[in-house]
Every structure is written in C-alpha cells, then in structure tokens.
Structure 1
Amino acid sequence: MALPVEIAEIVGEAREWEGRGWFPPGPQLAVCLSGGKESLKDLTDGELLEVAAARRQTSWAQARELAAIAELAGRRAVGGSEDDPRVLTSHESVTDEVAAALTVTGNAAATLVRLAERLAVELPGTREALEAGRIDLAKARVICDVTESLPADAAERLETAALEKAPAQTSGQLRRRITRMARHLAPEAVEERKRDAVRGRRLEVWDNSSGTANLALCDLPLEDAHAVYNKISAAARGLKHEGDARSLGILRVELAPRLLSGAELPDAARALLVEEPGAAEELSAPQVDDDVAVPALAAMVERRLAHVRARVSLDALPVAVRRAAQRIHDELAERRDAVCQGDDEEHGRPGYRPPAALRREVEERHGTCVFPSCNQPSRRCDLDHTISWRPGPTCRCNLAPLCRRHHRLKQSPGWSLFQIWPGLLIWTTPAGAWYIVRPDRT
C-alpha cells in the first residue's frame, strides 16, 4: 500500500514510531499504526510508549460508533408508533436492534443508545473531545453521568469546565471534581437525582468466573452507606486490637455476612474472636481416661499455635499467641467441664482449699512444678488455681502445682498460663513463644 507523502516522510526506518504521540486520530493514524516493524519486541521502551497513539485511535473509533448509533436512533424515531401498547417504542426497538448487532446485553445497549443520543444533542463538546482523542470513553461516560438531569445551562457550564482538565485527569479525579461543581451549580437538581436513585436502591448478587460471588447494596443514601461501612470497620479494628492476625479487609468481609444473617454486632465480633483464622480442625476431644486424649489435644494445640506464628508479624506475635491459646481454652470449656464434673451436681469443690484426695490426684498427675524447666517436687509447690478462684473452680481441671517462683512468674506482665484440659497446660511468654506441659499420668 502506498503511503501519503506527508506520512511516508515520518515512517522511515529511523523514525518508525517517533512522534506518533501527537498525530491526530483517524484514517491516516490507522495507516501509521498498521505499518512498520512486525513485532513489538523489536521496539525500544520509548517506541512502545508511543503506541499509546492507538488509544487516541480507539477513542476516535468509539466516537464514530456512538455517532452511528445516534443517527440510527434518530431515523427510527421518525414516524414511530410511540402510543401503541401492542408494539415497542422506537427507543426500545432501536435498543434491541443495537443489542443484536453488537452482541451485547439489553442493558449495555440501552446505555450506549442513551450516551450516543446525549453526545449527539446535549454534549457536543464531549463528543468532539472523544473524536479528537483528548478524552477516552470512560471520561465521556463520567461527563454524561454527572450532567444527567441538570438544567441545560448548568450542564453546558459543567461540560465546559470538565473538558478544561479532563485530558490530564483520571476518570476518578474527573468524577470527583465535576460532582463537586454540579452540587454548586444545580443543588436542587442534584438532590432530586439523588432521591430518584435512592428510590431505586436494591440488593444485587452476581457470580464470578472464579466460583465466588459478589453481593452489593446499590444506591443507598450516602450517609447510610458510610455509616454501615464505618461501623463494620470499627468492629474490624477492634478485632485487630485484640490480636486477630487477619487483615481489615478480610475481617470486614467476615463480619458483614454474619450481620446480614441477623447476628448482633457484639455476637458477630465475639464469634470471630473464638475462631482461629484458617484452622478447620474440629476440637472434638476423646474421653479424659482415653490414653489418646491428651496427646491428640497437645498435637492439635501445637498445630494451631504454629499456624498463628506463620501468619503474623513478630511484633504482633505475643498478643496473637496468647489470644489463640485463650480461644482453644474457651472452645474446649463445655466438654472439659462436662467430663470433669461427671455425675456431680456442681462443677468443682466448695472452698478455696482442695480436699486431701484432690491434692494427691493433682500431685500424682504432675510430679514437679508445671513450669517447663522446673524440677521442684509438686509436694513442695503451691496448688495453684490456673484461673483464680472465683470465678475459677477448685477442681482438677483448674489446679496445678507451681513453685513459689513460678507462681509469681505466672502473674508477671506478658506471661499467661492456660489449662485447656485436666493436666494439659499452655504457657505463653512475653516474646510470643509457647510451651505445652503434659501430665505425667492422665
């Protein structure tokens, strides 16, 4: 194909892509973009960036498409039967005609027809900017959306102001800027449009190709939407403060379905604190007199705490480990208490001091102080209530021998001790380490 002289002068070997960033869109730029080197891998970085000229060409092509749709809509409107309930209106008919021709949904076609008609009649400056490649289709849509339903003089002024800076702005920046201007130029029209949108508020759900789904509340009043988001965010931050290792985004998503399902916010937050992120292991403990019970529980604890360590940063580790140990303790509480209570009417023994038989049982279960490195015989230790007496019971599931030194250590800042099953204890340290202490006998 022979190139026009003025184009041939700039597509020589030395200047294959140089300068095309300024070349106006249209048939001549299409020729330039189609000629030259056969592979993009042969271009320099600078030359690759010059291919951005194709984006202006795209805007030009989209403007031509919208102009054709507007012309078609205008033709179909002439002589149409708008008042006959037996047939579609001309606008509905041309929308379906466009949908079939472009293989798009009816909603997408309706959006294209509306945009085409507005660019052709009400927003000529935006149409020209799109055709010249100064703005892209996304920015044209923004201008069309924000000027919708505004008085003609306000829409004209807003379009002029928008096009002054639109080429140098992203579509998001453009939308924020001209939305503020619209509220100033036509506050009553903006409020009426807002009321119309709120009347059409809805809950939508759609499936994703990944096998997940999106759930969205659409066209809520601004203050309601932000209030809901802020409330969920505050609860998520509270969970983070409590040591939850998950991100704020994940915690928001974990909270929202629970709230929509009817849970009260404190209950939803409490349920998340009880959960261990990513742990699907069921804490179903065997009977306490089964030889497998304590080893199985100890192995479970080790896996759960190792999982926490792998997920959090070092500075968050102490709180996260302590919180995870507390969750394990709480998850086992009902089964632990039921097994320990047996046929007794009440769980535990009355009074602070354990009876002699209970003391002997606890001392036989642990021959030494339950601190990992201590060898002090249990008969010389305090019989400590792991959870302080009242609310903690005087019972074999809440008693363990501690020498006086490690009794004091347990109460020191940063240290914690949990008895998750009779005789099975977890120490957590200020550095975020943990130690599992098993009974000598069950």
Structure 2
Amino acid sequence: MFVTMPAPVGAIANNRRREWEDREWFPPGPQLAICLSGEKNRLDDLTDEELLQVAAAARRQTSWAQARELAAIAELTRRRTADEDSDDTDHRILSGRESVTEEVAAALTVTSNTAANLVHLAERLTGPLAETGEALGAGRLDMAKARVICDVTDRLPEEVAGRVERAALETASGQTTGQLRRRIRRIAQRLAPEAVEERRREATRLRRLELWDTPSGTSDLALCDLAAEDAHAIFNKITAAAHGIQADGDTRPLNTIRADLAAQLLHGVELPEAIRALLTETRDDSAKDGSVGDGDVAPFAPVVAPSGGGDDLRTGAGGACDEFSGDTDIAALANEVERRLRHVQGRVPPRELPHAVRQTAQRIHSQFSEARDAACRGDEEGHGRPGYRPPAAMRREVEARHSTCVFPTCNQPSHRCDLDHTVPWRPGITCRCNLAPLCRRHHRLKQRKDWRLFQIWAGLLIWVTPSGAWYLVRPERR
C-alpha cells in the first residue's frame, strides 16, 4: 500500500500554480507565513485570481496573528489580577486591570483607550466568546467582525450571548461588519429586550462631547452616545435648514452647509440669524479649510527615545557635574542612559529583568543627583522652592518642557495635568528637576509599587513597568 504524503513547504513555494490554486482552505500559521513571504518579490508573476488568493491568505494570517496578540494580553491580565483583592482597592492607586491596560498601551504604542478595548476584547475572546476567538485564530473571521460580536453580546445574559454568538458565527465569514451587526442586533433584541434596553440606558447616561485632532490639521467634534431619537432629531433639523439654505442659492455641498450651520449654533447664534449669516457672508474657503491663525497651537505628542544607542560617556562621581552642566548635553545624557539600560536588558534572565532594570534606573538616577542639583543651583532662581506647590513661573517652565503628560503614550495636555513630584515631596523637593506633568490616571499609575518613575535630569524621565520594560521620555524643549 502506498501512502501519499503532503508536499514539503519548500516544494509548494517553488510551484506557483500549486501554491495559490484553490487555496481558500489553507489554514493560517507558520506554513502560510512562509508561502506569503515567498511571493513578496514575484507578485507580478501571478494571475488576477491568484493575487486575490494571496490577499485573502494574508488577511487570514493577520487574523491568526491578532488572535495570538489577544491571547497574550489575556494571559498577562490573568497574571496581574490573580492576587488582587477587589474589595481592598485604593482609589488613589490604579487597579491591577488598569495597570495592565497602561502596560499594554506602552508596549504596543497605542492610547489608553485603545489598550483598554484590547484588554476587554482579549478577556472576552478567551472566555465567554472563546468560539469567536477560535474562529479568529483560524482565519474564518477578521478582527473587525470579532469586535462586532463582542460589542453586541456585551452585558447580555450568558445563555443569550451564547446563542447570539453561535448565530453570528454561522454567517459571519460571508457578511460585512454592517450586515453582521444588523443581523445579530435583531437577534439580541428578540432574545433579551430588557438587557438591550438597560445597556442603551447605561450608554446614554455616559453621553459626552468629544474633541480630537485629525492628521490634516483640523479637529473633529462629536456628541457621543446620545439617545437615538435625540441624535436623529438634531441631525434632521440641521439637515432641513441646510436644504433650505441650499435652495436659496448656496452652491456648496450639503455636508459643508450642515457643518457650518452646526458651528454657528454651537457658538450661540440663534437659528434664523445663523441661516441669514450663511446666506450673506462671503467666506474665504482656503482659510476655512485649514489655515492656522496666529493664536492656534499645534498639537503635540509625547516624545520617547529612539531605538539607537549612544556614546559611552565618562560619568563617574567626579566628572558627572562637569560633563552635564546644562540642557545642551541632554541628548548625550539620554543616549548614555539608553545604552546602560539596553546593556542590562540584553544580559539579564527574563525572570530577573524587572528588578535589574529598576535597580539600574535607580543607580543612574542617584549617580547624576549631584550634577542635577548643581545645574539647578547654577540657575539664577536657585535649586528648589519652599513648600509643596510650585510657583506659577516654575509651572509654566515645566509645562513648556513637556506639552503633554509624560507617560509615553498619553496625549493629555500638560495644563490639564497634575504637576507631580517625581520623588514624593519630603524627601523630594519642589524644583524643575523633580516636577513633571502627569494626568490624573497616570499619576495614580505611578503610585503603584510595581511601576517606577525616575527623573534623571530636568525633563529626562524613565518609566519602568512591572515586566521590566523601560521607556525613556525626553524633554521637548531643550
């Protein structure tokens, strides 16, 4: 009897027709990754049909990788929260679950909101929605559809959530996210109308106005989680007025008229006056579409260290004060700090890494203490101020040095942050070399014993996470 064995991966990669012909069944994983990487330099040899097969295979592989990402986040969350007593929480300190969120945010370079969504999704897809997680890992659906299933089943009774999930997985692979969402919403509404209504009321209770900057230099303003009837009534009223303005001769697109009318109303102009203003005013479209006035302030992002190392500087106890006497040497100092931390990271066993990195950061902080103090004393204002609260001039200087919270992925403007003493006041002092803006959330994160924050020089800070990862934050103004 002869047994037919599957062809080796290398043989498959060398046969173009066998590699991508009828490959919808090919499962994601290491072998598919090899096949995909083999095609990167010769896609122009493939037929149109084969190119679509490659694109579909790449999407399945992406789903597999995202499932692995979420599984890793779920396991980290389980470890961090296993020993935490939910009845013994200190509201001045971030909880274990929130701490994991910030650790994920820093590691993946995403915002706290994005990280929180990932943690929630990870727990759901490895717990009550494990079948959806398995379908994601097998490439039968993508992350967007997994999110839809998670969102619609969130806070539904367990039995109902299971039925909705099973119904979703029957058709998800052949539906868009919009089609899938409409279908399973109807199922959820039919099976658990009370739970759906309660969730709607809870979301409405958290309604809010949000503002964020766009890549084009403009800003978006949105009313979020309004009651559906209110949102539709507002939109319909503005749309009706915009149609009237358009009928009276305004040739601009309806969307533009709606936006301008809404802006007028939010500025406090009465509706009749706003309509008259839009009909009579002559606008400079080029200025309205993106020019920045003298009073506008460009958005800033937190500055983190680049991946490269730096020079090996002589920073002994006797020479530190001479070498680093001002802001002009901050780049060299940052490079030296990076080099030392990377050296530790490269030679310490993983289990010992958190302690080793904290110790190294503490030693660096201590080593430069005399030079840091001397640099401040050399300033005409002197080193340190009496009392806990910094004077207004010092606050302005620290806020100018960092325009946002100094957590690596936070975008909260510094003028909305707490001015935190990196070393707590007494023994820490109120000085520019011991102050940094921290939003309230990351101020609470700093209070956790498994996180550490060091300020090596005025504005040069090191965050050390519970897992031993470190993040260097540099001053924006040097």
Fold shared per TM-score above 0.5:
yes
Residue 25 (structure 1) aligns with: 28
Deviation at 1:211, TM superposition (A): 1.3
1:57-106 alpha-carbon deviations (Å, 9 max, x no partner): 00011011111111221222222243141644321222222222222222
Deviation at 1:137, TM superposition (A): 0.4
* Structure 2 residue identity aligned to 1:5: A
Give the AA of the match of 2:270.
E
Q: Given the superposition, is the C-alpha separation of residues 278 and 93 from structure 1 closer, same or farther in structure 2, using an over 3 Å criterion?
A: closer
Partner of 2:7: 5
Provide, for residues 406-425 of structure 1, a one-character-per-residue CA deviation record: whole Å limited to 9, x for no partner.
xxxxxxxxxxxxxxxxxxxx
User: How far apart, CA to CA, are the structure 1 residues paired with 2:243 and 2:93?
Assistant: 56
Aligned with residue 238 of structure 1, among 228, 238, 244: 244
CA distance in 2, matches of 1:124, 1:24: 19
1:54 corresponds to 2:54: no
Q: Structure 1 residues 202 and 9 mapped into 2: Cα distance closer, same or farther (>3 Å)?
A: same
- Contact 1:81 1:90 (C-alpha < 8 Å) held by counterparts: no
Cα distance change, pair 77–263 in 1 and its aligned pair in 2 (3 A) = same
Tell me the SS of whatever aligns to 1:214. Answer: strand
Structure 1, unpaired ranges of 5+: 282-442
Matched residue SS, 1:189: helix
- Look up the equivalent residue of 2:189 and give its one-letter code: R
Shift of 1:206: 0.9
Partner residue of 2:280 out of 274, 277, 293: 274
Q: Structure 2-normalised TM-score?
A: 0.55
Question: Residues 198-249 of structure 1: CA distance to partner in whole angstroms, max 9, x if unpaired?
Answer: 1111111111121111010011110000000000000111112222211111
Could you say if the C-alpha distance between residues 279 and 216 of structure 1 is closer, same or farther in structure 2, counting changes exceeding 3 Å?
Answer: closer
Match in the other structure for 2:329: none
Report the CA distance between 1:181 and its aligned residue. 1.9
Q: Give the alignment partner of residue 125 of structure 2, picking from 110, 119, 126.
A: 119
Structure 1 distance, partners of 2:200, 2:105, is 29
Q: Deviations 1:283-302 (Å, cap 9, x if unpaired)?
A: xxxxxxxxxxxxxxxxxxxx
SS in 1 for 2:131: helix
2:154 to 118, 140, 148: 148
- SS at structure 1 position matched to 2:72: helix
Over 3 Å counting, the alpha-carbon distance change for 1:237 and 1:73 in structure 2 is: same
Q: Which amino acid aligns with 1:212?
A: T
Counterpart position of 1:431:
none
- Give the aligned residue type for 1:71: E
Whether contact under 8 Å (1:81, 1:89) holds in the other structure is no
State the alpha-carbon separation in 2 of the partners of residues 113 and 279 from structure 1.
43
Matches within 5 A, 1:285-296: none
| One-letter code aligned to 1:25 | P
Inter-partner Cα distance in structure 2 for 1:120 and 1:221: 32
Name the counterpart of 2:46.
43
The structure-2 alpha-carbon separation of the partners of 1:31 and 1:259, relative to structure 1 and needing over 3 Å to count, comes to same
Q: Higher relative contact order at CA 8 Å, sep ≥6: structure 1 or structure 2?
A: 2
Which residue does 1:66 correspond to in 2?
A: 70
In the TM superposition, residue 130 of structure 1 has moved relative to its aligned partner by: 0.5
Instruction: Report the equivalent of 1:98.
Output: 104
Partner of 1:361: none
CA contact (8 A) 1:73 1:94 kept: yes
Q: Which residue of 2 aligns with 1:327?
A: none
Pair 208,279 (structure 1): closer, same or farther in 2 beyond 3 Å? closer
The Cα offsets for residues 137-162 of structure 1, whole Å up to 9 and x where unpaired, read as 01111110111111111111111111
Pairing partner for 2:177 from 162, 165, 171? 171
- The superposition leaves residues 354-391 of structure 1 with CA deviations (integer Å, 9 ceiling, x where unpaired) of xxxxxxxxxxxxxxxxxxxxxxxxxxxxxxxxxxxxxx
Structure label with greater radius of gyration: 1
Whole-angstrom distance in 1 between the partners of 2:101 and 2:124: 15
Q: What residue is the counterpart of 1:136 in the other structure?
A: 142
CA contact (8 A) 1:233 1:252 kept: yes
Worse-matched range after superposition: 87-96 or 227-236: 87-96
> Are 1:77 and 2:101 an aligned pair?
no
Q: With structure 1 as the length reference, what TM-score do the two structures score?
A: 0.59
Structure 2, unmatched stretches of 5+, are 1-5, 288-478
Q: Distance in 2 between matches of 1:75 and 1:28?
A: 31
Q: 1:177 to 1:206 in 2, by over 3 A?
A: same
- How far off is 1:164 after superposition? 1.2
Please give the secondary structure, in 1, of the residue aligned with 2:24: helix
User: What is the CA distance between 1:37 and its match in structure 2?
Assistant: 5.9
Structure 1 residue 21: Cα displacement: 2.9
Alpha-carbon distance between aligned partners in 2 of 1:246 and 1:271, rounded to the nearest angstrom: 15
Q: How many residues align?
A: 279
Q: Quote how far apart the aligned CAs of 1:15 are.
A: 3.5
Partner of 2:195: 189
What residue number does 2:378 align with? none
Match for 1:148: what amino acid? Answer: D
Structure 2 counterpart of 1:294: none
Is the contact made by 1:16 and 1:36 (CA closer than 8 Å) also made in structure 2? no
Identity among equivalent positions (%) equals 64
Q: 1:90 to 1:276 in 2, by over 3 A?
A: closer
